């Protein structure tokens, strides 16, 4: 749990979070705790993601009723779990026992358990391995036996055991001690209670927790956004050696249906949790869930993969360039094969069947677990997977079957486009036959958006395709005059005959990006979509250094002692191309070698207006060099960086590149405009810690800064704390859409969250969690104000913000600067 709740108008309580998990190399897993429970991953509901502290007896009863009436129980969901805030703030003074809040739970927890059990379901409860829970209610540290007996008397079936206010020294030995104490206490009660260890992956629980509990969190808390899900998959997927019946890696609860992701992303969320043999704990308000949400949550084929009695977490077969293949053996002898695409464009993901656990066979039967389609492949399992999508096949060896359709993949790429009259672009498609036998009369067609034209410039038909052969076609795209910038869909369909003359078709949607000339004004170049780019290592990075081969793996751009929040991180040889349409006049930037480079090499930075070099700078490691280029009237802008001979991989930066277009002048503000709220130039700007007994401190520092010459040094305790202040006068965020803050860590990375207080009663609103790893890493944390949620009945009034807080976790020094709104 990470979200913090206001205990009273001016009292802040601690957010429960953890440092990002550091993945250890595979090792022999410990023996599972012998309680006979959770032989398959638990399935159920938890109120926290959707309701936070707003949990009541009626809500839990409503969920239990819905489990039965909606079919959730029928497909395997059984645990209805109560999270934090169910108790009174103090224990019973005579017995020392935890006391259910009589307003929220008039029947008591035991009464709710009776209601849930009568439905054939089970009840879960929340406690904490510290002196207090994350929302400030009594913790169980030092009360393990009493609390375990209480839970057993109430007929609890599942315990989520959190990690706030833990008084820990941060050692793995302490984590093992605290979590073992409750595990043994539960065992002594004699009641079967599933034990869920929630310490956020801080102490690498996969290396020890199988002897203690039934499941353990491997990461910080999930958020309802793609970045969070992608990050958690990357951390949890490699931990497959540690999971098995009765002991599971837990990448946190499901966000399906909470509104922050697309249906494609939610299907990936569900698919990858199933492949990773993760607990499936619903975290949405089921009372208003859409039909689409329920369809995802009740997909019996995907659930069967998760609940397979063999109890094996999928092996990562391959993981490269944002594409991952997972292979999970099933008890009936089949395999579940997931083709996962974390990138932002459609991609063809494939794996030879012999590289999975499948035995060699004349053919393989593929059942798509989302569409239900059944096809047969000859040697390769493949699909065109949409951006952020996952295709899951159930696969078994077979012999070619005359009535089973062949597997055909249709993929492709689209170039970046510009508008008419110069408007044109290209699109390349590939239709590949992966099934047995021969396809006949193969034809590829494209459905374009209204007003667009698509013309084949190479053959779009072929009389036949044998197994593993492809039909590649090039197309010219005509862009209609007046088309606006954006992404446009093109549906590519391959039609073909197979078998005894049957006709089938396979379709894929590609998206082409249209760029237009920049509008009037001065803009950071990192906010303008380039026409195209090539880069020596990995992608060109926006507002961070190049880092390495993966996307978004760099830090804040740093040249010499200067740290920049805007710019382009590149690796030689590099070229970035922009369409200007003759509308722009000037480009300014600081250029240089990023401090991450370490090669000692120099690099040459050249700006081209059309084909003319209008600015050239050679930069050595050290201070940045200013560059000023006249691009008046140019249709095209090119930024080229090359390294010295033998130093081609040098990492460089185009820092704060500002493009001036139209009638804009040097005095016009640079868009997008951001307003700095706290810059710490005069000290700590009265920032402090929210929880005096939670540890941590603040001080002024000049060792890191992105705005001015000073920043805030926050010494974060292992358990984390909130850093910020309550304001004497309301702060007006105006029409701002995002909050930003620049961070640099000294340890392994950062987990955190942003919160604000609003109104005269200082109501607490929070959200927008983040997690990243990497010693000494730095980032600009950007979180939409829409990601911040308030308690029931409270509105986030952006004109009356009365407090701003940042949660920092994991121990060690964290440098923080330029909290701003934009």
Q: Where are the beta strands (DSSP E) in 631-737?
A: 636-643, 651-661, 670-671, 675-678, 688-689, 697-701, 711-716, 721-731
610 catalytic residue (yes or no): no
User: What is the secondary structure of 725-784 as a DSSP string?
Assistant: EEEEEEE--TT--EEEEEEEESSSEEEEEEEEEETTTTEEEEEEEEEEE-TT-EEEEEEE
Peptide bond into 672 cis (omega under 30): yes
Instruction: With CA atoms as reference, report the closest residue to 284 among 245, 308, 311, 256.
Output: 256
CB 42 within 8 A of CB 194: yes
Q: Which residue, chain included where needed, has tokens 């890191």?
A: 704
- DSSP lists the bridge partners of residue 158 as 124, 194
Cα 387 from Cα 267, distance rounded (Å): 12
Which residues have a Cβ under 8 Å from the Cβ of 236 and sit 6 or more positions away? 21, 218, 219, 249, 251, 276, 278
Tokens of 502: 């049957």
Cα 170 from Cα 167, distance rounded (Å): 9
From the candidates 128, 221, 308, 707, give the one annotated as an active-site residue.
221
Cα 418 from Cα 486, distance rounded (Å): 11
Instruction: With CA atoms as reference, report the closest residue to 811 among 690, 716, 743.
Output: 716
Which secondary-structure segment (H or E) carries 59? helix 57-69
Peptide bond into 188 cis (omega under 30): no
Instruction: With CA atoms as reference, report the closest residue to 429 among 503, 506, 371, 373.
Output: 506
221 catalytic residue (yes or no): yes
User: What is the secondary structure of 4-64 as a DSSP string?
Assistant: ---SBTTB--PPP--PPPPPPPP-PPPPPPSS---SS--EEEESHHHHTT---HHHHHHHH
From the candidates 162, 252, 308, 597, give the one annotated as an active-site residue.
162
Instruction: With CA atoms as reference, report the closest residue to 140 among 128, 149, 152.
Output: 128
Which secondary-structure segment (H or E) carries 588? strand 584-593
Tokens of 403: 């009535």
Helices of type H across 403-453: none
Q: Which residue, chain included where needed, has tokens 């926290």?
A: 48
Instruction: With CA atoms as reference, report the closest residue to 685 among 695, 677, 697, 675.
Output: 677
CB 82 within 8 A of CB 127: no
3-state DSSP call for residue 114?
helix
Q: What is the largest CA-CA distance in the chain?
A: 87
Cα 181 from Cα 177, distance rounded (Å): 6
Catalytic residues: 162, 221
């Amino acid at each position: 749990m990470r979200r913090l709740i206001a205990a009273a108008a001016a009292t802040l309580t601690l957010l429960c979070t953890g440092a990002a998990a550091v993945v250890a190399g595979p090792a022999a897993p410990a023996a599972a705790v012998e309680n006979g429970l959770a032989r398959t991953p638990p399935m159920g509901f938890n109120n926290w993601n959707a309701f936070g502290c707003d949990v009541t007896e009626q809500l839990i009863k409503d969920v239990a009723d819905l489990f039965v009436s909606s079919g959730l129980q029928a497909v395997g969901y059984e645990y209805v779990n109560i999270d934090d805030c169910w108790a009174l703030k103090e224990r019973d003074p005579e017995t020392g026992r935890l006391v259910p809040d009589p307003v929220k739970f008039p029947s008591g927890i035991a009464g709710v358990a009776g209601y849930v059990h009568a439905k054939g379901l089970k009840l879960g409860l929340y406690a904490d391995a510290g002196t207090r829970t994350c929302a400030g209610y009594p913790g169980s540290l030092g009360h393990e036996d009493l609390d375990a007996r209480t839970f057993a008397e109430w007929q609890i079936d599942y315990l989520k055991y959190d990690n706030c206010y833990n008084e820990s020294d941060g050692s793995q030995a302490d984590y093992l001690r605290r979590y073992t104490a409750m595990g043994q206490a539960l065992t002594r009660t004699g009641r079967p209670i599933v034990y869920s260890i929630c310490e956020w992956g801080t102490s690498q629980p996969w290396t020890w927790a199988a002897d203690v509990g039934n499941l353990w969190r491997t990461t910080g808390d999930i958020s309802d956004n793609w970045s969070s899900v992608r990050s958690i998959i990357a951390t949890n997927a490699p931990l497959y050696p540690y999971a098995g019946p009765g002991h599971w890696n837990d990448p946190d609860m499901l966000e399906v249906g909470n509104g922050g992701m697309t249906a494609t992303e939610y299907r990936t969320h569900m698919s990858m949790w199933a492949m990773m043999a993760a607990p499936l704990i619903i975290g949405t308000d089921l009372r208003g869930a859409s039909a689409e949400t329920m369809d995802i949550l009740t997909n019996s084929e995907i659930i069967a993969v998760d609940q397979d009695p063999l109890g094996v977490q999928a092996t990562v077969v391959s993981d490269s360039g944002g594409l991952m293949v997972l292979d999970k053996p099933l008890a009936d002898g089949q395999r579940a094969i997931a083709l996962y695409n974390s990138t932002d464009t459609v991609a063809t993901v494939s794996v030879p069947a012999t590289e999975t656990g499948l035995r060699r066979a004349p053919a393989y039967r593929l059942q798509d677990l989302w569409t239900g389609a059944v096809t047969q492949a000859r040697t390769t399992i493949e699909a065109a997977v949409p951006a952020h999508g996952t295709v899951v096949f159930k696969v078994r060896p077979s012999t070619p079957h005359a009535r089973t359709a062949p597997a055909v993949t249709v993929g492709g790429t689209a170039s970046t486009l510009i508008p008419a009259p110069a408007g044109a672009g290209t699109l390349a498609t590939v239709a590949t036959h992966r099934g047995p036998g021969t396809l006949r009369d193969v034809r590829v067609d494209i459905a374009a958006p209204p007003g667009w034209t698509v013309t084949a410039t190479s053959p779009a038909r072929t009389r036949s395709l044998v197994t593993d052969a492809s039909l590649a076609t090039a197309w010219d795209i005509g862009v209609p005059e007046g088309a606006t910038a954006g992404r446009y869909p093109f549906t590519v369909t391959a039609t073909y005959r197979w078998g005894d003359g049957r006709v089938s078709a396979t379709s894929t949607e590609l998206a082409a990006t249209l760029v237009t000339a920049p509008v009037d004004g001065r803009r950071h170049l990192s906010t303008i979509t380039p026409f195209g780019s090539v880069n020596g290592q990995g992608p060109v990075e926006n507002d961070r250094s190049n880092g390495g081969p993966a996307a978004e793996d760099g830090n804040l751009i740093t040249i010499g002692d200067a740290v920049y929040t805007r710019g382009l991180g590149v690796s030689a040889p590099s070229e970035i191309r922009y369409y200007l349409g003759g509308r722009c006049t000037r480009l300014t930037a600081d250029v240089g070698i990023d401090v991450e480079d370490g090669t000692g090499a120099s690099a040459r930075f050249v700006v081209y207006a059309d084909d003319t070099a209008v600015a050239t700078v050679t930069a050595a490691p050290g201070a940045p060099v200013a560059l000023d280029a006249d691009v008046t009237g140019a249709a095209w802008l090119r930024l080229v960086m090359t390294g010295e001979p033998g130093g081609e991989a040098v990492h460089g930066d185009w820092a704060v590149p500002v493009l001036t277009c139209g009638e804009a002048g040097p005095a016009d503000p640079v868009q997008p405009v951001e307003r700095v709220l706290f810059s710490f130039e005069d000290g700590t700007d009265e920032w402090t810690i929210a929880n005096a007994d939670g540890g941590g401190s603040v001080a002024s520092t000049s060792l890191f800064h992105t705005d001015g010459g000073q920043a805030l040094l926050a010494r974060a305790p292992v358990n984390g704390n909130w850093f910020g202040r309550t304001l004497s006068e309301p702060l007006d965020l105006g029409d701002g859409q995002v909050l930003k803050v620049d961070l640099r860590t000294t340890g392994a990375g950062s987990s955190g969250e942003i919160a604000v207080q609003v109104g005269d009663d200082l109501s607490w609103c929070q959200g927008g969690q983040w997690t990243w790893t990497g010693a000494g890493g730095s980032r600009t944390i950007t979180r939409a104000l829409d990601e911040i949620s308030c308690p029931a009945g409270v509105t986030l009034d952006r004109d009356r913000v009365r407090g701003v807080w940042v949660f920092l976790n994991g121990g060690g020094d964290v440098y923080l600067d330029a909290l701003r709104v934009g």
